[in-house]
């Protein structure tokens, strides 16, 4: 059996919805024991965020970020349940929370209180706009951050209305930043014995994730605008109409690839044309170039062009929906879907039957490791399947 990288790490997860649960799921994938603290009777908000649902009636949104965890139902307004949460947190290696600023302090579950009895604790707080000042009062919804943080201003057709990304991308990015911060803090703790507080906010995470668009502003003074599917610094690097109503993605990253594209399209002279011979020139003459390429690309379906272009080393492909994207990954041998076993007790729909609950199919962790690979052990837990007594034993409490 393969070892896990974080098999000795205990995580108490007070987070809900997406950014925090994504971070703790990744820690669980790498072997950490993650206990998800949820409100009795309703649990994480995403348990109710459907349709769609899986065959067992569980909201697929909840399933997306909660595998390999245990669920402990605690009412933090109840003194006995709160005392249990405080005792577990005092023994945890990692605490993750995304309550409104001030809530954890009021509950005696803030970093300062817990670090006083558990100085090795790694404590991660995720907020929308920071935990102090005006930002502490602002609600941290992904759509709001996409708008305020500039992502919508660079997404969508030129001259059209701002568009959000098709998923809660800011939450995903913040969750990934939170994971790397926690892992770095655990590394520091292994060397020094010292824990620390980590703070991640959605707005800063988005600004960092704007990468070249952000540095174009910070270092170059250029405020980026919406360009549809075009790229501000590379051409041709966008979507084209192909034959039979299909669409082709072209991602030409250098002059060699451009010359191969022109050769294949039967227009080799374009590669030496001063208007298009270099990438900066192509960016300047983007519209002229697009018109010339579009005339040729309409003559064959996207699948035909993609096959021929890839054969000569030009990055190209059809635009897939999600089902076809998973099918592509399967064909490439990437094994993109994991089937997870449900924890004992299962979902409510199966409690009164003798039928075994169906496995849960979720996207696989994309990281491949030769020594300590991510695990795909158990499906996201039913609400409260972990008893207080068992949780106490896990954390060595009592």
Query: Which residue ranges form the domains of the chain, and what is each CATH number?
Result: 10-209+335-395 (3.40.50.10540), 237-329 (3.30.1540.10)
Residue 93 annotated as catalytic: no
Please, which residues have CB within 8 angstroms of residue 300's CB and are 6 or more apart in sequence? 242, 243
Residue pair 298/243 in contact by the 8 Å Cβ criterion: yes
- By residue count, the chain amounts to 398
Residue pair 163/152 in contact by the 8 Å Cβ criterion: yes
| Strand-pair category, 247-251 with 316-318 | antiparallel
Residue 41's region, left for phi above 0, alpha for psi from -120 to 50, else beta, is left
pLDDT tens by residue, the chain, 398 residues: 458 999 999 999 999 999 999 999 999 999 999 999 999 999 999 999 999 999 889 999 999 999 999 999 999 999 999 999 999 999 999 999 999 999 999 999 999 999 999 999 999 999 999 999 999 999 999 999 999 999 999 999 999 999 999 999 999 999 999 999 999 999 999 999 999 999 999 999 999 999 999 999 999 999 999 999 999 999 999 999 999 999 999 999 999 999 999 999 999 999 999 999 999 999 999 999 999 999 999 999 999 999 999 999 999 999 999 999 999 999 999 999 999 988 775 334 444 455 667 789 999 999 999 999 999 999 999 999 999 999 999 999 97
Q: How far is CA 302 from CA 174, 241, 254, 263, 325, in A?
A: 35, 8, 21, 17, 15
Catalytic residue among 29, 110, 171, 201: 171
For residues 187 and 199, give the distance between their C-alpha atoms in angstroms, rounded to a whole number: 17
Name 12's bridge partners.
35, 95
| Strand-pair category, 337-340 with 360-363 | antiparallel
The sign of the dihedral angle between the CA atoms of 318, 319, 325, 327 is negative
Residue pair 205/149 in contact by the 8 Å Cβ criterion: no
Confidence (pLDDT) at 345: 57
Confidence (pLDDT) at 343: 78
For residues 216 and 163, give the distance between their C-alpha atoms in angstroms, rounded to a whole number: 20
Confidence (pLDDT) at 342: 86
Place of tokens 């290696």: 93
Q: Which has the closest alpha carbon to 208: 154, 168, 136, 151?
A: 151
Q: 317: exposed, middle or buried (C-beta count within 10 Å: 0-12, 13-18, 19+)?
A: middle
Confidence (pLDDT) at 260: 98
Burial string for 113-124 (b: 16+ CB within 10 Å, else e) reads bbbeebeebbbb
Q: 231: exposed, middle or buried (C-beta count within 10 Å: 0-12, 13-18, 19+)?
A: middle
What is the maximum alpha-carbon separation in the chain?
79
Name the strand (E) or helix (H) holding 123. Answer: strand 122-127
CA dihedral 386, 390, 396, 398 (to 10 degrees): 120
* Measured distance between the N- and C-terminal CA atoms of the chain, rounded to whole angstroms: 32
Name the strand (E) or helix (H) holding 175. Answer: helix 169-192
Name 13's bridge partners.
36, 96
């Amino acid at each position: 059996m393969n070892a896990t990288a974080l098999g000795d790490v205990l995580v108490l997860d007070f987070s809900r919805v997406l950014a925090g649960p994504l971070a703790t799921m990744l820690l669980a994938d790498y072997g950490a024991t993650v206990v998800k603290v949820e409100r009795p009777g309703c649990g994480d908000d995403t348990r109710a965020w459907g349709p769609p649902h899986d065959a067992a009636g569980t909201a697929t949104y909840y399933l997306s970020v909660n595998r390999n965890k245990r669920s402990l139902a605690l009412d933090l307004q109840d003194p006995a349940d709160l005392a249990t949460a405080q005792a577990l947190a005092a023994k945890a290696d990692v605490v993750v929370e995304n309550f409104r600023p001030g809530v954890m302090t009021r509950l005696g579950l803030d970093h300062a209180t817990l670090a006083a009895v558990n100085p090795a604790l790694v404590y991660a707080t995720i907020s929308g706009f920071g935990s102090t000042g005006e930002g502490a009062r602002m609600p941290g919804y992904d759509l709001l951050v996409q708008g305020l943080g500039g992502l919508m201003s660079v997404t969508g057709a030129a001259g059209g209305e701002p568009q959000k990304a098709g998923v809660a991308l800011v939450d995903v990015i913040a969750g990934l930043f939170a994971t790397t911060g926690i892992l770095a803090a655990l590394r520091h703790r292994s060397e020094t014995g010292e824990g620390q507080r980590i703070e991640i906010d959605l707005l800063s995470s988005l600004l960092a994730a704007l990468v070249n668009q952000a540095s174009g502003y910070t270092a170059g003074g250029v405020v980026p605008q919406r360009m549809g599917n075009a790229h501000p610094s590379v051409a041709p690097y966008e979507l084209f109409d192909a034959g039979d109503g299909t669409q082709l993605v072209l991602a030409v990253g250098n002059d060699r690839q451009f010359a191969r594209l022109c050769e294949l399209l039967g227009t080799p002279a374009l590669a030496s044309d001063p208007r298009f011979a270099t990438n900066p020139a192509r960016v300047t003459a983007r519209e002229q170039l697009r018109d010339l390429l579009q005339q040729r690309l309409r003559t064959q379906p996207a699948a035909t062009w993609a096959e021929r272009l890839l054969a000569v080393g030009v990055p190209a492909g059809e635009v897939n929906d999600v089902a076809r994207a998973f099918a592509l990954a399967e064909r490439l041998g990437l094994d993109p879907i994991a089937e997870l076993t449900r924890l004992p007790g299962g979902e409510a729909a199966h409690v009164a039957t003798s039928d075994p609950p169906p496995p849960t199919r979720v996207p696989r962790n994309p990281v491949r490791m030769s020594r300590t690979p991510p695990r795909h052990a158990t499906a996201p837990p039913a609400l409260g399947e972990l008893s207080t007594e068992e949780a106490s034993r896990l954390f060595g409490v009592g």
